[in-house]
Structure 1
Amino acid sequence: MSVFPAEIESDRLRYERLHPDEIGPFELYRHVKRGAPHIEEITEYVTWEPYDHPKQAADWVTQCGDQFEKGADATYVIRPKEGERAGEFAGLAGLHPDWDRKIATLGTWLRKPFWGRGYSGERAGRMLELAFDRLDLEVVTVSHDPENDPSRRAIEKYVERFGGRKEGHIRNDLVIDGEPRDSVRYSISRAEWEQNTT
C-alpha cells in the first residue's frame, strides 16, 4: 500500500495516479507524441521531449506506477470534473519527495486548452495539502525556467497566496533539449502554509 492516495480531488479537478492499473499508455501517448497539438509549446520549458513511439509512454506509466507503489514519487493525471471538457486528460501533476530532507518538489504540465484557467494554482494548493497534512513534510519547492513567463506568473501567485518566498536564481539547474538551463526556485514551509490556510 502506497503512502500516496490513489485519487484526490480539488474544487474543479480530479487527480488519478499515473499507474498501469488506471491509465493506458495510449491515452498518455496521444497527448505527448511528436506532432500532437501544441506539443512544441508544451515542451518548450520542460525537461522531457515529445515521445517518438508508444513504448516510451508505456515505460513512463510503468515507472510512475512503480515509484508510486514504493512511496518514492507521486504522479497524477489531471482531469476537470465538470464542463464540456469534464474527464479529459488535461495534463500531469507531480509531488516528488526527498524523505530524508522532509522536502518535496512540485511539478506540472498542462495541455494548451487548459492554460489560463487557474488550474496550476488549484493543483498546487491540493499538492501542498497532501505534502504537509498527510505526508508530514516540512518544505515544498517549485522551479521554472527564467524565460517561462506564464509559469512564473502562476507560481508567484500561489507562492504569495500560501506565504512562501522566492529562493533565488540557480545556474545550470535544468537540462532542456540537451542544454543546461538556469532555474528560478521558490519554497513554501509547513508553517507558512498553516498560517495562510487557517
Structure 2
Amino acid sequence: MAVSASLFPESVETDRLRLERVDADDAGALDLYEHWRTEAPNVEESTEYVSWEPYDHPNGVAETLERAVDRVEGGDGAMYLLRPRDGEDRAGEIAGTTGLFTGWDQRLAVFGMWLRKPFWGRGYSGERADALFELAFDRLDLDVVRVSHVPENTNSERAITKYVDRHGGRREGRFRNRVSFDDGSIHDTVEYSVSQSEWAAADGAETAVEFRD
C-alpha cells in the first residue's frame, strides 16, 4: 500500500511539547548524539529498558536517523524529537524521541518513546500519547494502537497504564520472548491496546493537539 509521507505532520504541538519530525535535511537532529553517546549523562539509566545501546560514534546515530527518514518516505511511520515548549523548564532542549510506526495491512500503529532522565516525572509520556492517538486515529484512520514495555520497566508501566486507561484501552497481557535487544538478550513484553472506537468513546485527551505540515 503506497502512503504519502505527508500523512505524517512535520511537527505536532501540545500544551507543553513540540514534536519535530526527523527529516533528511534536518542536520540538527545529529544533536541526538550528545544524548545517545556512551558517556552522556544518565544514559545508562535512560536506555536500560530499550532495545538499543548507547552509541560510541556519531555515525551510528546518523544511520538510525536515515532509517527513520526512510520510514517516513515509505509511509511506514515517523520519528519525532520531543522538545518542551516555551514556559517549560529547559524549553527547547531535546527531551527525548517518540515514534509512530504503522502496519497498514493490520490497520495498526505502534508507539515508541525514549526520554532523558531530567525530563522524567513531568507527564510528558501521556501528553505526547494524546497527540499520537489523534494522529493514528483521526488523521491516519487506523483501527488499533499497540504499546508495550519490558516487565522490569515500572516507570513505563505506570505511565502507559495511566494513559491507556484514560483512552479506554486495556492491558492485553505478557508475551514471552517478544523482543531482542542489541546486546543479544531476549525479553518478554507487557502489551496494551486501544481501538479507535474506544478512543472516540473515552475522549481522554488532556491537552490540545495541533498538527503543522
- Normalised by the length of structure 2, the TM-score is 0.90
Q: After TM superposition, where is structure 1 displaced by more than 2 Å over at least 4 residues in a row?
A: 22-26
- Which of these residues, 162, 166, 169, is aligned with residue 171 of structure 2? 166
Q: CA deviation at 1:84?
A: 3.5
- Which of these residues, 201, 208, 212, is aligned with residue 195 of structure 1? 201
Identity, in percent, stands at 54
- Seen in structure 2, the aligned counterparts of structure 1 residues 84 and 156 have a Cα distance that, compared at 3 Å, is closer
Whether contact under 8 Å (2:171, 2:193) holds in the other structure is yes
- Seen in structure 2, the aligned counterparts of structure 1 residues 23 and 17 have a Cα distance that, compared at 3 Å, is farther
Higher relative contact order (CA 8 A, sep 6+): 2
> Counterparts of 2:161 and 2:130 in 1: how far apart (Å)?
13
Q: CA deviation at 1:22?
A: 2.3
Structure 2: gaps (5+ residues): 205-213
- Normalised by the length of structure 1, the TM-score is 0.96
* Aligned positions of 1:53-132 closer than 5 A: 53-82=57-86, 83-132=88-137
> Counterparts of 1:91 and 1:23 in 2: how far apart (Å)?
17
Structure 1: gaps (5+ residues): none
Q: CA deviation at 1:11?
A: 1.0
Task: Let me know the Cα RMSD of the aligned residues.
Answer: 1.2
Aligned length: 198
Q: CA deviation at 1:153?
A: 0.2
- Which of these residues, 20, 23, 30, is aligned with residue 24 of structure 2? 20
Q: CA deviation at 1:65?
A: 1.2
- Which of these residues, 155, 172, 194, is aligned with residue 160 of structure 2? 155
Partner of 1:183: 189
Partner of 2:144: 139
Paired AA for residue 86 in structure 1: A
Partner of 2:209: none
Q: CA deviation at 1:20?
A: 2.8
